[in-house]
Amino acid sequence: MSILRKNKIDFRLCAEDMPTKWYNFLPDLPKSLPPIRDNGHHSAQKISEQIRPKILLEQNNPKTQWVDIPTPVIDRLIQCGRPTPLRRAYGLEKYLDTPARIYFKREDTLTTGSFKLNTALAQAYYAKEEGRKILISETGAGQWGMSVALASQMFGLKARIFMAKCSLAQKPYRQHYMKMLGTEIYPSPSQKTNCGSRLLNRSPEHPGSIGTAISEAIESALETPDSAYLSGSNINHVHLHQTLLGLEVKKQLSLAGEESVNHLVACVSGGSNLCGFMMPFLKEKNEGLDIQMLGVESTAAPRLTKGTYEYCRSDVAGYTPEVLSYSMGKDYIPAPVHAGGLRNHNSSPLVSLLYKEGIINARALDEIKAFEAGRLMLQTEGILVAPESSHAVAAAIDLANDAKESGEERVIVFLASGNGFLDLQGYNEVLDL
């Protein structure tokens, strides 16, 4: 009988195996997160309290080690494909001829095609519980926007998304998807907000950025009654919601008979996929297990590997607080790589602390290397990952090659954070198909 049939390739969990609590990893950190600076012309702290559901603010610093996931959130996560598979990458291993055992977590199988849905559903639920009627957010490449669109629909709420004008043109399919769910979409900068209007007056052809879109979304939330603003990354409650990833992977590695894991690999920007995946392993790492955590960024915005650890903010209008993070500087313009999720000018305070303290390592990879790894992943495993995820694939391949070099049986797990079907145009351009 085939080894694959005996559950040795696809370590599936059933609905009843779905975690029912998120893991609060803050107690496992070596030190507290540095305080924010709230010296903009708005009070970022007050703004945050006004636009976000109260329980989400509490979840930025939970009082307990475990946080209950509300049942309606669990139900919808299951409807949308959780728990997601963990797959052994036999095809890739064979191609690389490596003694390493490579696994990958398939967040690409969620119905929106990315891991972002995990927190969108939770945030939408809490907003609804507080009586909010419309969810407002920004989106870069569009994966987060799609998740907000679906989550709002599933809880009977409306959604409004500001998407950088340049990305909207580059990724029309994601816009169609959001519109099918009744989401209002504004290309940022837009005339919908004062901040957007000012930018357009100054520069009518402004291409927009994630920074302009955040500012417009926050302003819109401040001015729209019964609205809530949702964040797709960067902030602690988002990282908390994403711990589902690591909690599931731990169960699945155990099903796979792996007693330990040597390398965890994920792409990194705000870092919610990385933190959600890796932080449930931090306690074991603290206890001395050899678990190496690697964040992979894009050379288009090499915040960790080439940035400066400094106070800066995420948006252009100054609605967000200044946070201590690795940054390229607030005026940095990244190259227009297709991995839109990796283009932010700064990282989150948490990821920055993890890097500063040596808990995670980081590498920056260029787009061609990443997309070539994405192609190899498709060719050997049959799975097309998102441009962001392809950075993790490329780094995992290098680790597997290192293992071959040293002849060691390393266990490598990487995160396939999203699906690449809607990025085929990008693959086509970069790989010159």
Indicate the residue among 307 and 374 with the shorter CB distance to its own copies. 374
Quick one: 139 exposed, middle or buried, by C-beta within 10 A (0-12, 13-18, 19+)?
buried
Q: Give the separation between CA 116 and CA 107, rounded to whole angstroms.
A: 9
Q: Which residues of 243-261 are buried (b: 16+ CB within 10 A; e: fewer)?
A: bbbbbbbbbbbeebebeeb
Q: What is the rounded CA–CA span in Å between residue 206 and residue 192?
A: 15
Bridge-partner residues for 188, per DSSP? 164
Residue (16 or 405) nearer to its own copies, CB: 16
Closer residue to its own copies (CB): 84 or 215? 84
Contacts to its own copies by CB under 8 A: 1-2, 4-10, 12, 14-16, 18, 20, 71-72, 74-76, 78-81, 87, 90-91, 109, 111-113, 150, 153-154, 172-173, 176-177, 179-182, 375, 378-379, 381-384, 419, 421-422, 424-425, 427-428, 431, 433
416 SS3 class: strand
Q: Nearer to its own copies by C-beta: 113 or 295?
A: 113
**Closer residue to its own copies, CB minimum distance, 114 or 231:** 114
Which residue's CB is nearer to its own copies, number 268 or number 383?
A: 383
Residue pair 77/121 in contact by the 8 Å Cβ criterion:
yes
Tell me which H or E stretch contains 170: helix 165-170
Nearer CB in complex with its own copies: 195/384: 384
Q: What angle do CA 428, 431, 433 make, to 5 degrees?
A: 60
Which 3-state string (H, E, C) describes 140-208? CCCHHHHHHHHHHHHCCCEEEEEEEHHHHHHCHHHHHHHHHCCCEEEEECCCCCHHHHHHHHHCCCCCC
Task: State the nearest-atom distance from the C-beta of 273 to its own copies, in Å.
Answer: 20
Query: C-beta of 125: minimal distance to its own copies in Å?
Result: 13
Are 291 and 265 in contact by the 8 Å Cβ rule? The answer is: no
Strands 21-23 and 308-312: unpaired
DSSP letter at 124?
H
* DSSP H helix total and E strand total for the chain: 19, 15
Q: Which two tokens stand for residue 347?
A: 């990282």
**Whole-angstrom distance between the N-terminal and C-terminal Cα of the chain?**
39
| Nearer of residues 51 and 67 to its own copies, judged by Cβ | 67
Nearest distance from C-beta of residue 371 to its own copies, angstroms: 9
Query: C-beta of 79: minimal distance to its own copies in Å?
Result: 6
Query: Sign of torsion, CA 298 304 305 310?
Result: positive
CA–CA dist 354, 398 (Å, integer): 22
Q: Is 206 helix (H, G, I), strand (E, B) or coil?
A: coil
Q: CB atoms < 10 A from the CB of 172, how many?
A: 12
- What is the C-alpha to C-alpha distance for residues 161 and 138, in angstroms, rounded to an integer? 5
Nearest to its own copies of 66, 421 (CB atom): 421
Q: Closest separation between CB of residue 237 and its own copies, Å?
A: 22
Nearer to its own copies, 1 or 97 (CB): 1
Separation of alpha carbons 221 and 224, rounded Å: 5
> Residue 310 in 3-state DSSP?
strand
